[in-house]
Amino acid sequence: ASSTTVDLSPIEPGMQVTVPWQKKPVIIINRTPEMLASLKETMDKGILKDPLCKVPQQPPYCTNMYRSRIPEWYVGIRICNHLCCIPHYRPKKGSVAPWWLGGFHCPCHGSMYDLSCRVIQGSPAPHNMAVPEYEISTEKMSTTI
Ligand code: FES
């Protein structure tokens, strides 16, 4: 399998980019402290299907609340695991529902995910979105998927 290296330096806090990797869209988000706080808040609301990432949808080093190697940087496959649509990035609070703290919203059948791509209860998608194996370096400001 071929790997892709992405320069992280142009991705400012709060921004996301989507890059192709093995014919799949991979999202990279530089999460702000506020965005990271929203992950805990969503967890505390008890609205996630698999808050602790028990279903193996990520490498072992991403089995944490951030679902990442470095909390700020999220790297994940941007494919809804209901019927494989590409969810929209909706980082703004209240943009999908009054209680919304930011995340992804699937245009096909309405699945909702938080900013760690953990699926919210009531969504047709059964699992959190997948995270690929990757390396990341904040010194080199790059990630290799
Ligand atoms: Fe995303 Fe159905 S494909 S909700």
Amino acid at 126: P
Q: What is the pLDDT of residue 27?
A: 97
C-alpha dihedral sign at 114, 118, 122, 124: positive
Q: Check: CB of residue 77 under 8 Å from CB of residue 130.
A: yes
The model's confidence at residue 2, banded by pLDDT at 50, 70 and 90, is confident
pLDDT, tens only, 47-92: 999 998 999 999 999 999 999 999 999 999 999 999 999 999 999 9
Of the residues 82, 88, 105, 109, only one is catalytic, namely 109
**Averaged over 106-118, what is the pLDDT?**
98
* C-alpha triplet 27, 122, 68: angle, nearest 5°: 30
| CA pair distance 59, 90, nearest whole angstrom | 25
- Ligand 1 pocket test, pick from 78, 79, 106 with the greatest ligand atom count within 8 Å of Cβ, gives 106
Put the strands of the sheet holding 24-30 in their side by side order. Answer: 16-21, 24-30, 73-77
Cα separations (Å) of 66 from 98, 104, 126? 23, 15, 19
pLDDT, tens only, 27-54: 999 999 999 999 999 999 999 999 989 9
- Ligand 1 pocket test, pick from 89, 105, 111 with the greatest ligand atom count within 8 Å of Cβ, gives 111
High-pLDDT (> 70) share of the chain, %: 99
pLDDT, tens only, 92-105: 999 999 999 999 99
In eight-state DSSP terms, residue 129 is P
Neighbours of 32 (CB within 10 A): 17
C-alpha dihedral sign at 75, 78, 79, 80: positive
Report which ligand 1 atom has the smallest distance to the Cα of 85: 3
Complex ipTM:
0.98
88 is an active site residue: no
| pLDDT surpassing 90 at residue 1 | no
Whole-prediction pTM value? Answer: 0.95
**Averaged over 14-26, what is the pLDDT?**
96
Q: Whose CA is nearest to atom 4 of ligand 1?
A: 109
